[in-house]
Chain A
C-alpha cells in the first residue's frame, strides 16, 4: 500500500508538533523517521496510524483519505515502544486477539485463528512459547510477539515506534538484522521511528530526517550522509567541525588561508560555513587547500585516536579522528602545529545558523545553495 502524507499540521496546546509535513512512501518500502526528541517523528507516526488526528492535511492510503478515520478502521499494525502486550493473555492469545475481535461474519473459525497465530509465532521464531505469558519473556521476545500480533491482522501498513528503544545494545543489533530480513520476506510497507541514526541508516531503504516539526531531508542512506540538505542534517548524522570561510564564485577560502578550495558549482559571493567531519580531516603539507591548527590533546579510545586541536586563525576548537594504525597518528603530539586538509565537506551559506538551533528555511534548501566538494 503506498502512503501519501499531504500538508499535515498538528499542534498540542501551543506547541506545533508538525507544521506542513509532506511525504510519499512507495508500497513495500522500509522507511525510518529520524530526528532528535521533540522533532515530531513520533507524532507523525501516530498521525499516520490514527492515534492522533491532524488539524489540517491528508493521509492517503492509496487514493483513500484516512485523516479523519479512527485507528480501528485503518488496519495498520502498530508496535508500541513498550510493546503493550496484554499481560493476562498467553502469547498465542495475544497474537490471536486481532482475529478474535472481528465481527462474527468476518471472523475465521477458531481452528484457523490458532493455526494462523502458530504460523506467525513461527515467523518470529518463537514456536513453542505459545503458552507463556508476556512476563515470562525477555525483552527481545516480547518485541517479536508484539510484531507477530500486529502482523496477524494482515495490516496495510506496519508502524513501529522506537522498536528497539527498550532493548540492550547486543539484542538490538540482532533484532535489527532480523527485522530487515523479515521485511524482505514479507514485504509489508513499514515505517519506524528512531532517534538512533545508526539504526536508521542500517535498516531503512530511505531515511526521513525531521527537526522541529518539519522534514529536513528525505533520502537513501548514502544521500543523506553524502549530500546533507542542511546544516542540521549534517550535524545530526555525526560529529561536526564548522570552519568559517568565504565564497567567491567557484572558489571557497577558509578564513586566514589563501589557497582556495575549488568546487564544482558557483556560490553566491559571501560568508559561508564549511562543515567537515572529524574523520575527514587529514594531515598535509602546505600548498593544497587546508588550514593550520595546533594539537592540544590526543586520546585513544579503542581503535580510534581522537585529537583536539585549535585552528590557528579562527581560534576554534577542531576535533580529529584517526585509526590508531594510521601513519599520521604518531605525528599528533600536543603542542605541535599541523596543516589539515579537508577530505570531504559541505558548504552552507553563513546564517543558516548553528545546526539544530533553529529550523532552516526550506526555501533556501530548495535553492540548493549548498555545495558538496571532494578533494585529494
Chain B
C-alpha cells in the first residue's frame, strides 16, 4: 500500500514549515504540480471508465424495472438453482483448497526436498493456463469420449455436464490462492516457532494448532476470501464442463449469460448484481484485513 502514498499530495504543512527542510525534502521526491494532476486525472479517468461505470451500470440496470422484477428474477426457480449450485461448489472447493494450500505451503516453507521449485511452479499453473483449457482437460479425461468415459458410463457415474465436473473445474482454477498467500508468509516465519514448541514437548498436532495456525491465521483468511470469490465467479472452466442445463448445471455466472443471451437484461443484471455485491464484500473484507493485519500478510502482493 505504500506505493499509493507517493501518488498523493505531500501532507499540507503549517506555513512556518513551508520553506523548511521537510518541504524541500518532499520537493525532491515529487514531480511538478501539473505532472501530478495529469497523472492523477488519468488514473481517475481510467478507473471511472473501466471500473466505477460498469459497476454502477450493473446496479442501475438491475433496478431499471423496479424492485418487484428484481426480486422476481432472483427467486425464480432456475435462478435459485444457480445460486444453490454456486454456493455448493464454493462450499466444496474452498475447504478442499484450504487444506491443499495449507499442506503445500507447509511442505514448501518448512522442509527441503527435491522438486520443490517444480512444485512451486506447478501451483501457479492454474493462473497461467486459460480456464477454457482447464475445463477441456476434464472433458478429455471424464467426458463421454474421454479416457475414463466408457468406464464411468458403465458404472453410471456422471462427472461432465453435472455437479462433480463443475466442482472439479472450480477446484483446479482456484487452488493457487491459499497456497500462494501462505508460502511467502510461512517462509518468512521460518521453523523456529515450531522447533521451540517441539522442544517444549508439544506433539506435531499441538504445534500446528497452537503455534503454526495462530501465526498464519490472517494470511489464511485472506487466501480463503480470494479463493471463495474466484470460486463463485469462475466462468470459463465451468462453462466448458457444465453443459448449461437450466436448473441443474448452471452456476450464477452461467445463468447470467443465458439470461443475457435471451434478452432478459433486467433479470441478467439482477443476478449479476449479486455477484458484484459479493465482490464488493470480499474487497472490503480484504481491505480491512490489509489495514488491520498488513504486517502478518504476505509481503508480496500479487493478486
Interface members, chain A 62-110 (any B CB < 8 Å): 70-72, 75-78, 80, 82, 84, 86-88, 97-98, 101-102
Q: Is the CB of A70 within 8 A of B198?
A: yes
Tally of contact residues, B, Cβ under 8 A: 16
| Contacting residues, chain B, for A70 (C-beta < 8 A) | 198
Q: Is the CB of B202 within 8 A of A86?
A: no
Q: Is the CB of A101 within 8 A of B199?
A: no
| Contacting residues, chain A, for B211 (C-beta < 8 A) | 86
Q: Is A49 an interface residue, CB under 8 A from the partner? A: yes
Given A87-B215, A101-B210: A49 touches B199 (CB 8 Å cut-off): yes
- Which residue of chain A lies nearest to B195 when distances are taken between CB atoms in the complex? A51
Q: Is B51 an interface residue, CB under 8 A from the partner? A: no
Q: Is the CB of B200 within 8 A of A101?
A: yes
Q: Is B30 an interface residue, CB under 8 A from the partner? A: no
| Contacting residues, chain A, for B201 (C-beta < 8 A) | 72, 75, 98, 101-102, 153
Q: Is B43 an interface residue, CB under 8 A from the partner? A: no
Q: Is A149 an interface residue, CB under 8 A from the partner? A: yes
Q: Is the CB of B196 within 8 A of A80?
A: yes
| Contacting residues, chain A, for B203 (C-beta < 8 A) | 72, 101
Q: Is the CB of B193 within 8 A of A72?
A: no
- Which residue of chain B lies nearest to A102 when distances are taken between CB atoms in the complex? B201
- Which residue of chain B lies nearest to A12 when distances are taken between CB atoms in the complex? B112
Query: Per-position contact with A for B181-193: 1 when CB-CB < 8 Å, else 0?
Result: 0000000000011
Most chain A CB within a 10 A radius of its CB, from B192, B199, B202: B199
Cα distance A68–B258 in the bound complex, in angstroms: 64
Q: Is the CB of B198 within 8 A of A72?
A: yes
Given A82-B192, A84-B192: A97 touches B200 (CB 8 Å cut-off): yes
Q: Is the CB of B196 within 8 A of A153?
A: no
Q: Is B11 an interface residue, CB under 8 A from the partner? A: no
Within the complex, the shortest CB–CB distance from B216 to chain A, in Å, comes to 11
Cα distance A203–B107 in the bound complex, in angstroms: 40
Q: Is B136 an interface residue, CB under 8 A from the partner? A: no
Q: Is B206 an interface residue, CB under 8 A from the partner? A: yes
Interface members, chain B 149-201 (any A CB < 8 Å): 192-193, 195-201
| Contacting residues, chain B, for A71 (C-beta < 8 A) | 195, 198-199
| Contacting residues, chain B, for A76 (C-beta < 8 A) | 199
Query: Per-position contact with B for A35-50: 1 when CB-CB < 8 Å, else 0?
Result: 0000000000000011
16 CB < 8 A contacts A-B:
A51-B195, A72-B198, A72-B199, A78-B199, A80-B195, A82-B192, A84-B193, A88-B214, A97-B200, A98-B202, A101-B197, A101-B200, A102-B201, A150-B200, A152-B200, A153-B200
| B positions within 8 Å CB-CB of A | 192-193, 195-203, 206, 210-211, 214-215
Closest 7 interchain pairs by CB?
Answer: A98-B200, A84-B192, A84-B196, A101-B202, A78-B199, A88-B214, A72-B198
